[in-house]
Structure 1
């Protein structure tokens, strides 16, 4: 999928769509920020800078401080494709982010979304 038009889409253009999507379901922008920072390693300032500078998705992921090693645990279908079977690494990262936001909107618990094992005890 090299050169797919989504790669040149700005993070700033999709971020508010993510926020709107989760707000319709009773969640908020902080939840979107939490899953995106978990996935990419960006902090709040880094996310804000990505929005403010309108960096494209290819650059957003290329400059991600640290992709979460547990991202490979993200499975399921998004846009008709199983995320774990997507071969293009950039497209897979984008779809991982989409999948996490979808899970927030569906009301899943954050520990489940962030692939966190339950606390012992």
Structure 2
């Protein structure tokens, strides 16, 4: 079955929401180097609250993009890793992140010009 992103009833839109979410993008980028614990993920992804990170990780696990592995230790150790499906997102997400980093100055300048044009003199 192939999806149709332009059909409002197609589940493709749910997937686009997931991979278009900034936290999901940052999780994929963070886990590209291998499994990480929650605390390390939170350190790498500056500005994310524990609640939002937990929600993001649970949703990504449900979508089959990552795995959550609990080790029987005291205290319990939990690691997150990308699945093959999650790894398949790595290159497209890296390309988008690279584009954003290379073009941030141009976008900020365009916003400033736009906002200045809307501001009464």
Q: Normalized against structure 2, the TM-score is what? A: 0.26
Q: Which has the larger radius of gyration?
A: 2
Q: Normalized against structure 1, the TM-score is what? A: 0.26
Q: Which gives a bigger RCO, structure 1 or 2 (Cα 8 Å, sep 6+)?
A: 1
Higher strand content, 1 or 2: 2
